[in-house]
Amino acid sequence: MNRESTLRVVCLAGSSDSGKTTLVEQLVPKLAEYGRVATVKSIHHDIEIDTPGTDTHRHRTAGAETVVGITPELIFDISTHGKRDPPSAPDGDRLLESDDHELQALASTLARLERRGYAFVVVEGFTKAPLPTILVGDRDPAAVGGEIVGRGTDSLDELLETIRTLEPQTTLE
């Protein structure tokens, strides 16, 4: 199915404790008025998100590449490919011509979210990503990989309009 992308992606870049997560919490419900919203958070250390001993954890440690859990309130999936070993595109090609595994993992995630029909993705972290970026706090603009499209000090309405009018994102390149 070849369809024109409608996914709009924005990256929030700033130092720790600069207000990125607070801004995500403000943007997401407002963007949700215009379409489905997903968020992606860069985590720089390994964490265990699946409780050892649970069935989903046992499925994953048995070797499943992806485990999907469906509860009365949530559906979640856990995949084994992270920043160290990012997944390839479904056809086996690389999604991004870069040796940066972190950017490869982000490209794969954005492609998956696009296929799932999301309208907006707010990315927290991934400062090197060549994505439209909102600077939060005192981050040096030269330290980010994308075009600066706003600042955390801009009004919420200005930031929402900026995000809503971004060009659809089909790739990180």
Which domains does the chain possess?
Answer: 8-45+88-164 (3.40.50.300)
Question: pLDDT tier at 86 (50, 70, 90 boundaries)?
Answer: low
Q: Is the distance from CB of 95 to CB of 109 less than 8 angstroms?
A: no
Q: What are phi and psi of 135, to 5 degrees?
A: -85, 130
Find, among 97, 100, 166, the residue nearest to 131 by Cα. 166
Q: What is the mean pLDDT of the chain?
A: 82
Residues in the chain: 173
pLDDT (tens digit per residue) in 23-78: 999 999 999 999 999 898 876 556 556 778 888 778 878 878 777 787 777 777 77
Q: Is the distance from CB of 10 to CB of 173 less than 8 angstroms?
A: no
Question: pLDDT tier at 99 (50, 70, 90 boundaries)?
Answer: low
Question: pLDDT tier at 94 (50, 70, 90 boundaries)?
Answer: very low
Question: pLDDT tier at 97 (50, 70, 90 boundaries)?
Answer: low
Element (H, E) at 75: strand 75-79
128 pLDDT exceeds 80? yes
Note the pLDDT of residue 150: 96
Q: Is the distance from CB of 108 to CB of 81 less than 8 angstroms?
A: yes
Note the pLDDT of residue 93: 44
